[in-house]
Structure 1
Amino acid sequence: MEGIRMVVDMEKLAERSSGVFGKSGTGKTFLTRLLLSGLLREDVATCLVFDMHNEYGWEAEGERGKRVKGLRQLFGEQVAIFTLDPESAQRRQIKYDSAVQIPFSALEPDDLVTLQNLLGISEAGINAAYTLHSVWKREWLERFLRFDKDDISFLVEEYNQHPGTLSALYRKLYFLTRFPFLRPEVKEDSARQILEHLLSRKSVVLEFGRYGRSLEAYILVANYLTRRIHEEYVRRKEAAEGGLGEEPPQLIIVIEEAHKFLDPTVARQTIFGVIAREMRKYNVTLLVVDQRPSGIDDEVMSQIATRITCLLDNEADVRAVLSGVSGAGALRDVLARLDTRQQALVFGHAVPMPMVVKVREYGTPEFYASLNAERKAPTEDTRALLWGTEEDDYL
């Protein structure tokens, strides 16, 4: 059918976790930009975007090779840009607000759990990390990476740690020393800076610069910052319930390569798995962007309330994205017939019914004009922002 107007309820999209899925090259990034533009325009949530490839904050190349505006250029002071790589930002002439630096003393063993499979750290190694933390507290990582002979002997003799386990853990963790954003001391608490922006209803895009090519850096930093922000949201939400303060604003955390954070072996131990299972309890939800939904834990996937799915050609991925959905058989046939670009199947909490849509092109003059138009009917206006007007062709 053509000309059907579909309402995307931005408040419902924000209040529970959602996902954008599709194989490589189907336009997930541009679709995510459209969703973020709708959320920010309607002011229903603040967003924290872990921008792996520097595609959301500042201008970037569009679908037809032209430069298109980023969220900062579209929404001005409503969006702050942080960077993990100031040199890259300066070369690209990005006007960023602050550079993220993390002290070794702030990292805890829980921050490393998501890296366990990626780095090949054994269970014995993870247990050893917790022992190191209990013995040396905030100094545990920096002191361990010095690998002092007397310190190692002390751990072996007093805490029954196996020398081979400690040596293996040292080799696995030494990679941290090659990231300049990890330092013995820092001047500013980056996690606190980002949190203050979010609490003041200002969205944050964290660009990774050249470190976006390192999955280890992306997972480590996203997990580190999200754990601390979530802890503060829990504290403030509980205080508000006790009449001791205001609730924190609704927050959406955007992560790419989501299956690396949410695969079955680590999902129950990571902060992202916790957030997905909590649904909206503490005003924090996820927007996951992924080309391999089959790699996401089944329980977490069941909490993805709104799913926007571009073409998938892997049967396991199709099964995963349709898991728990009524009428999955019919939707499977629909998914198989999607075009490779600018088409998506949308279903779940934020829409009245499953529907295939022609995705509006991001970065056109018409798109920019729609952002500046007066909002007389928010839900209809946002639908037009995301999917075009009724004069557009719908499939």
Structure 2
Amino acid sequence: MLEFSESSGDGHHPTDRPGKIGVITHGSLNDGIEMKLDAARPIEDVIAGTFVVIQGEQYDFFCMITDVEIDAANEQILLNPPGPEDDLLRDVMRGTGTYATVSLKPMLMLPNTEHPELSEDEPRSVKTIPAHFAPVAHATEDDVARVFGHEANDGGRTFFNVGSPIGMDEIPVCINLQRFAERSNAVFGKTGTGKTFLTRLLLAGTIQTGRAVNLIFDMHSEYGYGDRAESEDGSTQFVKGLRDLFPSKVCIFSLDPKTTRDRGNQPDHDVYLHADQIQPADILPLRDTLNLNATAAESSYMLQNTYGKDWLRTLLEARGDELEQIADETGAHQSSLEALKRKLSQFEQYDFFTTQPSQDRHDVLDALLETLDSGKSVVLEFGRYDDLKVYLLVANAITRRIRRKYEEKTNRYRQTKNEGDKPRPLMITIEEAHKFLAPGIAHETPFGKIAREMRKFFVSLLVVDQRPSAIDEEVMSQLGTKMIAKLNDDKDISNALVGTSDSSSLRQVLASLDAKQQALLLGHAVPMPIVVRTRTYGADFYEDLRSGPLGGKSPNEDDDPDELIHELF
């Protein structure tokens, strides 16, 4: 008879943690770990994406469940299965004759409490694996906080709660907003998955902590002021906008001030776009939307070479045979100029667009930059002009100027090395992002350049889209943090995971997400991928903002705290 004595010294195994669900039986560093599920644990309680911890002799290994499989020790059992009434026989065989195995993907490792001499400040990449029969347990609240941080850390200025692990309601998973603001990020999900709610959460976090100022191109007027909307659970309710939550930190710029006022709200600035503020590069993303051929688009550059910033006004105001004269002066084909004029003249029907010179007039774009410089975020509402061609033109024209200004500000900061000259990190939120970042035009638009190069100039993107497969792969590879809700298309799933190590195991996790209030969170702002039940954007969230570590006050404001706390209600 074999006897096993308790190991000691280096082989001493820590006391099993509570919530044990199984033990390790197989595995490798490259292919992942296999766990045998305890017989007493119902297999239907094991869910892909769940956060678990393997308790090694020296390290705790933080893992994600990626697959579940049932098996039998003897094929004869499967040839002669117990009948429906044989409950006792099934119970006897469970765990020995029949059993379940669970595939685990180790993501991080930390020294356990038995080895304080190995203590480290942050989890590190997995470089080894636990031994046979190491116990596996559900993660605890302390485990989640060790890995993902807690809102109370750092005075509430760094970590922000975005949801809870699957099966662990009320335990917060936080993102590091300092790291989140360092790079461009994305929220992906098919229509109806609650992308707008996820985006509101992330924006509220950056505003609350002051980690970044935001410019939000609000195509459907969903982010600024509150309105009735379909909530995450499918019901219709009134939800607060960012201006409602942060009145002293968010300004509203409106392309359609009449509609904004008709809704009972007052914009801070009315937005007008002058023809001489538009460059040929601003219309490139409109080629498909306006059905512009390549020759017509190229004609815009020929016009600019001849007439400078007045190129568009000259084209739109041309009458009769003046186009023939313009063709002679520029060298462009008259037919191409006619096509270009016909397509671009559509913008003259909009109240916000004018061919009047912008010189000596109040430049709302300068006001927008001044607002961002003051530390306030800007929501640019489109109102009834929620047409895609308007969204593309306005967003491109404004972002191009902002990009140029931030390049100038950053270069000045590098010269003076004065912290007072350091630009505030700016995050620009765009919806329908694939229209700006498609493979054929991403290298030509200001958004493509921001995604690829502007991190060093303190500007980043928050990309919101339902079709990641339509976004340029180089841009996708530059995204730091992704919050991915349900996607159905295989191409979208593959592209959403571009640049992610071991994306094959995450594909199954992503495919198993619920259609509402679940998302895979991964990238620069979190130490490891994790599936979360996203935080509900509602009354409890508003109260948490009010009563949280910052109490509604961002760290760089000098406003009265009581007034700011009162603003939330």
TM-score between the two structures when normalised by the length of structure 1: 0.92
- Residue aligned with 1:262, SS: coil
Structure 1 residue 94, shift from structure 2 partner? 1.5
Partner of residue 309, structure 2: 138
| CA deviation vs aligned residue, 1:164-206 (integer Å, no higher than 9, x gap) | 1111111121111112101133642111111000011110001
For the 8 Å contact 1:17–1:279, the answer to whether it is kept is: no
Structure 1 counterpart of 2:207, from 17, 40, 43? 40
Structure 1 residue 376, shift from structure 2 partner? 7.4
Partner of residue 11, structure 1: 178
Is 40-49 or 3-12 further displaced after alignment? 3-12
1:163 aligns with 2:338: no
- Residue aligned with 1:81, SS: strand
Structure 2 counterpart of 1:88, from 259, 269, 294? 259
Is 158-167 or 112-121 further displaced after alignment? 158-167
AA aligned to 1:266 is I
Is 340-349 or 238-247 further displaced after alignment? 238-247
- Residue aligned with 1:220, SS: helix
Query: Superposition RMSD on alpha carbons, in Å?
Result: 1.7
Alpha-carbon distance between aligned partners in 1 of 2:454 and 2:279, rounded to the nearest angstrom: 25
Structure 2 counterpart of 1:196, from 348, 356, 370? 370
For the 8 Å contact 2:323–2:338, the answer to whether it is kept is: no
AA aligned to 2:435 is K
Unaligned runs of at least 5 residues, structure 2? 1-49, 51-166, 553-569
1:287 aligns with 2:466: no
Alpha-carbon distance between aligned partners in 2 of 1:163 and 1:16, rounded to the nearest angstrom: 45
Partner of residue 498, structure 2: 323
Structure 1 residue 239, shift from structure 2 partner? 0.7
Alpha-carbon distance between aligned partners in 1 of 2:271 and 2:298, rounded to the nearest angstrom: 29
Alpha-carbon distance between aligned partners in 1 of 2:180 and 2:410, rounded to the nearest angstrom: 20
- Residue aligned with 1:332, SS: helix
For the 8 Å contact 1:7–1:352, the answer to whether it is kept is: no
- Residue aligned with 1:255, SS: strand
Partner of residue 195, structure 2: 28
- Residue aligned with 1:93, SS: coil
Structure 2 counterpart of 1:58, from 198, 221, 225? 225
In our comparison, the structure showing a higher alpha carbon Rg is: 2
Structure 1 counterpart of 2:396, from 223, 240, 255? 223
1:360 aligns with 2:535: yes
Bigger fraction of residues in helix: 1
4+ aligned runs moved over 4 Å, structure 1: none
Partner of residue 380, structure 2: 206
Structure 1 residue 377, shift from structure 2 partner? 12
Partner of residue 103, structure 1: 274
Partner of residue 278, structure 1: 453
Partner of residue 387, structure 1: none
Alpha-carbon distance between aligned partners in 2 of 1:219 and 1:159, rounded to the nearest angstrom: 27
For the 8 Å contact 2:272–2:364, the answer to whether it is kept is: yes
Is 165-174 or 22-31 further displaced after alignment? 165-174
For the 8 Å contact 1:102–1:189, the answer to whether it is kept is: no
- Residue aligned with 1:188, SS: coil
Structure 1 counterpart of 2:413, from 240, 257, 269? 240
For the 8 Å contact 1:312–1:336, the answer to whether it is kept is: yes
AA aligned to 2:264 is Q
- Residue aligned with 2:536, SS: coil
Alpha-carbon distance between aligned partners in 2 of 1:284 and 1:195, rounded to the nearest angstrom: 13
- Residue aligned with 1:281, SS: helix
| CA deviation vs aligned residue, 1:39-71 (integer Å, no higher than 9, x gap) | 111110000000011111100224131211111
1:296 aligns with 2:478: no
Partner of residue 310, structure 1: 485
Structure 1 residue 353, shift from structure 2 partner? 0.6
Alpha-carbon distance between aligned partners in 2 of 1:58 and 1:376, rounded to the nearest angstrom: 22
Structure 1 residue 329, shift from structure 2 partner? 1.1
AA aligned to 2:192 is G
Structure 1 residue 147, shift from structure 2 partner? 2.5
Structure 1 residue 31, shift from structure 2 partner? 0.7
For the 8 Å contact 2:306–2:330, the answer to whether it is kept is: no
1:252 aligns with 2:419: no
Unaligned runs of at least 5 residues, structure 1? 379-395
Alpha-carbon distance between aligned partners in 2 of 1:179 and 1:350, rounded to the nearest angstrom: 41
Relative contact order (alpha carbons < 8 A, sep ≥ 6): 1 or 2 greater? 1
- Residue aligned with 1:242, SS: helix
Is 152-161 or 67-76 further displaced after alignment? 152-161
Indicate the percent of aligned positions where both proteins have the same amino acid. 44
| CA deviation vs aligned residue, 1:260-285 (integer Å, no higher than 9, x gap) | 00000110000000000015110000
| CA deviation vs aligned residue, 1:312-366 (integer Å, no higher than 9, x gap) | 00111001001121121111101111111000000000011100000111022x2
- Cα gap change, 1:155 to 1:13, in 2 (>3 Å): same
Alpha-carbon distance between aligned partners in 2 of 1:369 and 1:270, rounded to the nearest angstrom: 40
Structure 1 residue 107, shift from structure 2 partner? 1.2
Partner of residue 265, structure 1: 440
Structure 1 counterpart of 2:297, from 109, 126, 129? 126
Structure 1 counterpart of 2:245, from 49, 64, 74? 74
Alpha-carbon distance between aligned partners in 2 of 1:133 and 1:279, rounded to the nearest angstrom: 26
Partner of residue 392, structure 1: none
- Cα gap change, 1:374 to 1:317, in 2 (>3 Å): closer
- Cα gap change, 1:81 to 1:117, in 2 (>3 Å): same
Structure 2 counterpart of 1:335, from 503, 510, 515? 510
For the 8 Å contact 2:177–2:211, the answer to whether it is kept is: yes
- Cα gap change, 1:61 to 1:93, in 2 (>3 Å): same
AA aligned to 2:461 is L
- Cα gap change, 1:311 to 1:270, in 2 (>3 Å): same
Bigger fraction of residues in strand: 2
For the 8 Å contact 1:82–1:100, the answer to whether it is kept is: yes
Alpha-carbon distance between aligned partners in 1 of 2:268 and 2:491, rounded to the nearest angstrom: 41
Structure 1 residue 91, shift from structure 2 partner? 1.3
AA aligned to 1:259 is H
Alpha-carbon distance between aligned partners in 1 of 2:466 and 2:502, rounded to the nearest angstrom: 22
Partner of residue 372, structure 1: 546
Structure 1 counterpart of 2:319, from 130, 145, 148? 148
